[in-house]
Structure 1
Amino acid sequence: MRSLSEKIEFPDPEEATSEGLLAFGGDLSHERLVYAYKNGIFPWFDEGSVILWWCPDPRMVLYPEDLKVSKSMRSILKKNVFKVTFNKDFEGVINNCASMRRTGQDDTWITEDMKKAYMKLYELGYAMSVEVWKDESLVGGVYGVDLGDVFCGESMFARESNASKAGFITLVKHLRKKNYKLIDCQVYTDHLASLGAVEIPRNEFLKIIQAVKG
C-alpha cells in the first residue's frame, strides 16, 4: 500500500493488500477519479478518514447477458409497479444512498466531498443515475461511473421493497442493448449474486478495463 502524491498515478494493482487496499491519500478531482476507474481502482473510506483506494481480487462483476430475474420480479416489472428513468435526479439518488442506514454500518462512506466529486463526474458525463419512482416519489435508485463499455456501480437505495432491484434490472437490460461488456459490482454480496453477478480474477477484470481504455 502506497501514499499518493499530487501526480495522478497509482501503484500496480498487484501491490494491493489481501483485502484489496492499494493506496491512500491524493484527492477526489475528476481527473484522478476518471483515471482511477479506467484502471480498475475506486475510492472507499469513512468520514474523517484519509482517502483510501481499492482494487480487490477477486472482483465481483455482472455480465449483462447473465442477468437473473426471478419470477416474482418479472411479475413486478410487467405490472409497472414502478416507473424507471435515467439521469433525471442524480443528486436525489446519491443523497438517498448516503442517508440510508445499512446493517453493520454506523456511518455513510458517501461523504459530502464524495457527493461533490461524483456530481462533478455526472456534469462531465462520466456518471449515470437510475431513478425508481412510485406515485411521483423517488423510492429507489442506482448510481455509478460510466466508462462507455463498462458501468461501475457505486451504490443503490430502496425506500420501497424491490425498488432498487427494479432499477438495477432495468439498468442492466438497458446496458445489454448497448452492448456493454460488464457491470463492475466491486465486491461480493448475496444480493448481487442472486442477480447473476460472479467473482472473477482481478487480472481478468483489468484486461477488460484496458480494452475499454483503447
Structure 2
Amino acid sequence: MSIPYLDPNSIWFPDPGDALKEPNGLIAAGGSLSTEWLLQAYRQGIFPWYEEGQPILWWSPDPRLILLPGDFRVSKSLRKLARKQVYEISFDKNFSGVLNGCKHGYRKLEGTWITNDIAVAYTNLHLQGIAHSVEVWSSSSLVGGLYGIAVGKVFFGESMFSKVDNASKLALFYLTLHLKEWGFEFIDCQVHSNHLESLGALEIPRCEFMKKLEALTEGKPNNEEWQVDQRINASFNKYYE
C-alpha cells in the first residue's frame, strides 16, 4: 500500500485511519513545515518524523501514548533530587539550547531526526508563542530539558534530553504540575516507550485520541511566552521540604 505525496501549496492530510500498519502510523510524505501545516497536522493527530535526506514524513500511530498531568509518577530518586533543590527550572528561556540538546542527546530513529528544517520550523513556532521549552539549569549550565507545542488544552511533546541523571524527568514533572494548573488535559507522547510508561504514560486507541483532539484543540494558540508560576513553585518546594 502506498502513501500520498502532499502538495506543499495546498494544506491537506489523509484521514489518520488510513495510516499504514507497517510501519505503524505512516500516513503521507511531502507537504510543508510551515506554521499552518504543522498546526493542521497536530490538530489531526499527525506529526512529522523523518531523517535528513528524506522527504517530510507524516505519522499518526495506533495506539497513541499520552500522559495525564495528574498521573505523573514521582520516583524515589526524583523525589530526592527535588528535595535537594539543586537545579533551577525555567520555561522558554533557551529554546534553541533545548532543541540542540535534544538533537545531539536523544534519538527517535537511527541517526538524528531533528533535521535542520525541523529545527527552523519549530524555532519559528517558538517565536510565535506556540512551541515551548522547559529548561533545567545547574548554575548557568543547561543540563536538561524538553520541548513541544501547545494547541488548545493539549501539549504535544516532541523530545527531551538530560546531561545529568533525572534532569529530563524533573523538567517533565514541573511541566505536568503547570499543565494541570493551567487546565491542560494531557501530553501527547506520540509513540510507546518503556521510559515514559514508567512515568505514568498510557496507550489509548488512535480513534479515542482523535475524539479527544477534536474537542480540545479548537481555537487559536494563545501565543504567550510561558513562565514558571511561583505559586506552583512554592507549593512544590514546600511539598519536598
Q: Give the TM-score range, shorter chain.
A: over 0.9
For residue 78 of structure 1, the aligned residue among 60, 83, 94 is: 83
Instruction: Say which of 1, 6, 22 aligns to 1:4.
Output: 6
Matched, 1:99 2:99: no
**129, 136, 142: which one aligns with 1:138:** 142
**Which structure has the larger Rg?**
2
Separation in 2, partners of 1:188, 1:168: 16
CA distance in 1, matches of 2:122, 2:63: 25
Is the contact made by 2:92 and 2:135 (CA closer than 8 Å) also made in structure 1? yes
TM-score, length of structure 2 as denominator length: 0.86
d(CA) in 2 for partners of 1:9, 1:81: 47
- For 1:148, the equivalent position in structure 2 comes to 152
Alignment correspondent of 1:33: 38
Q: What are the superposed Cα offsets for residues 88-121 of structure 1, whole Å, 9 maximum, x if unpaired?
A: 000110011111254x954211011110000010
**C-alpha offsets along residues 72-101 of structure 1, whole Å, 9 cap, x if unaligned?**
211211211211100000011001111125
Task: Give the 5 Å matches for 1:41-80.
Answer: 41-80=46-85
TM-score by length of 1: 0.96
Distance 2:42 2:124 in 1: 15
- Name the SS of the counterpart of 2:41 in structure 1: helix
- Identity among equivalent positions (%) equals 50
The runs of 4+ residues in structure 1 deviating greater than 4 Å are none
Cα deviations across residues 42-75 of structure 1 (Å, max 9, x unaligned)?
0000110010000010000001121111122112
Q: Distance in 1 between matches of 2:19 and 2:82?
A: 41
- Count matched residues: 213
| SS in structure 2 of the partner of residue 98 of structure 1 | helix
Residue 199 of structure 1 corresponds to: 203
Contact kept, 8 Å, 1:65 with 1:176, in 2: the verdict is: yes
Counterpart-to-counterpart distance in 2, 1:213 and 1:141: 24
* Contiguous gaps of at least 5 residues in structure 1: none
Kindly state the Cα deviation for residue 213 of structure 1 after the two structures are TM-superposed. 3.0
Contact 2:146–2:161 (Cα < 8 Å) also in 1: yes
